[in-house]
Structure 1
Amino acid sequence: MNLRPAITAISPLAERMYADGLSRQLIGSLTAIPLLLFSLVGFWAGWIGQRIGFARALGLGMALLAFGCAARSFTGDFSAISRILGTVFIGSGIALGNVLLPGLVKSRFPQHMGVLTSLYATGMNLGAALGIALAVPMANSLPGGWNASLGMWGVAAFSMLILWAPQMFTAPQQQSRRIGHPLAGVMIVARKRRAWHVTIFMGLQSAIYYSTVAWLPTMLQSRGMAEELAAGWVSALQITGCVASLVIPMLAVA
C-alpha cells in the first residue's frame, strides 16, 4: 500500500503547488521521475535482492521511500533541488518493491500465489486511491499545507519499515545458484518475443494510467470542479482497479 500514494498524491494538489510558484514542468517531473526510476532501478533490483536478501532489500526500499518523501517536502533554501532528489529516492524505493515483492510472495507462499498476488495488486490500487483521496483533506488540516500532506506518506512508509524490520534481521537463505551479472536475466528475457509483447502492453497501459492520474484532477478543476470532487473521481478510478484486482482472479479460478 506504500508503493503508489507518494506518486498519486501529487495530482490533487497540482493547482496548489502551481499557485505557490512551482512550474508545471517541475510538478510533472514529480510524477515522471519515479516512472523512469522504475525501469532504471528495476533492472538491478533482482541483483540487489540476491546480494542482501529480498526482505532486506524491501526494507531498504521502504527506507528510501520514507527519506525521499521527507526530502521532497523540504521548504527551505534549495527546495527545488531537494524535491528532485527526494523524488529520485522515492522512485528508487518503489522500484525495489515493485520488483521484489512479487518474488517474495512466490518464494514464501508458492501454494497461494494467485490469492496473494491478487491482494498485492489490490493493496497497490487501494494505496493509490488513498493517496488521492487524502491529499486535499490533509493539506487543509495540517499546518504545513500541501508540503506536509506529501510528507505524511514518508511517515507511513517509515511506520511500515518498523513493522517490517524483524524480517530484515533473519539472515537470507543461501543462494542455490551463483549470482551472475545483474542484467543477465534481462538479456535472456529480451530475446523472447512474448516478453516484448508484454512489455509493449504494460508500457501502453501505464502511459494511459499515469497520464490520467497525474493530470485528470487538474483538468477537472480547470472545468470548475472543486478539489475534493475532482480527487473523488480519480479515487473512484482506483477503487475500480481494486475491485478488478479481486474479481478477475476469482473469475479465472471459476
Structure 2
Amino acid sequence: MKNQISLVVIFAIVLNTLMFGQNTKEAIQNTKQIIEGKKMLERDINELNEFSLKLHEMKRAVSQKDQNSVDRISKELIRDMTREVGQSGAKAKKARIEIAQSSAEVRSDRREVKEDKEDSKRGRYDQRDDEIDLARDKANTRDDMRDRRDDIVDFKRQIEIAEKQSEIMASLKVFGYSVEAKESAEYAGKKKMIETQFKSFVIFLKEDIAMTKIELAEDNRERREDRRERQDDRDESNEKEVIGKRRRG
C-alpha cells in the first residue's frame, strides 16, 4: 500500500514539474513579446512622425510648384509605405504564432483541470485543497482562453490593416505627381484624391500603434497571471508532497 502511495506521489510531483515547466516557458515567451513590443512601438512612433513630416514637406513642395522636391518626396513616401506594408505582414505572422502559443497554454490548463478532477475523485488529498486547486486552475483556463480570443482578434485586424495599406500604396504608385502651374479641375481632383489616400494611410499607422499599446498592456497582464500560475503550481506541488509524506509516515 505504501509503495502504491509513493508511486502516486511521485507521479503527482512529476506532473506538477511538467506543468511548472510549461508555465516557465510561457513566462519566457511573454517577456520576449513585451521586449519586442516595446521596440516595435518606439520604431512605429518614430516612423509615423517621419512619414507625417514628409507629407508636410510634400504639401509645401506642391504649393511652391517645386517639381524636383515633389518627385523626391513622393518616391520616399512610397518607399516608406512599402516598408510599412511589410512590417504589417510580419506583425500578422507574429500574431498567428501567438495564437498557437495561447492555444498551447489553454491545452495545458485543461490538463491541469482534468488532473484536479481526478485527484478529487480518488480522494488522494484533502478535499478542500482539491476544490481550491480546481477553482484556481479553472480561473487560469478562463484567463488563457480570453488571451487566445484577444490574439485571434489582433491577428484578423492585423491582416485587414496590411491589406488596406497595400491597396492604398498600390493606388498611390500609379499616380503621376506632376505639378501644374495653373491648376485645372481635373488636377485639383487628383490632388485631393492623393491627399485623402495619404491621410488614410496615416490613420492605419496610428491604429497600428494603438493596437501595439493595447497588446503591450495585455502582455503585461499575462505576465502577472503567469507569475501567479507559477506560484500556484509551486504551492500545489508542495502541498501534495507534504500530504504524501504524512501518509507514508
TM-score between both structures, scaled by the size of structure 2: 0.30
Query: Which structure has the bigger radius of gyration?
Result: 2
Bigger share in helix: 2
* Structure with higher RCO (Cα < 8 A, 6+ apart): 2
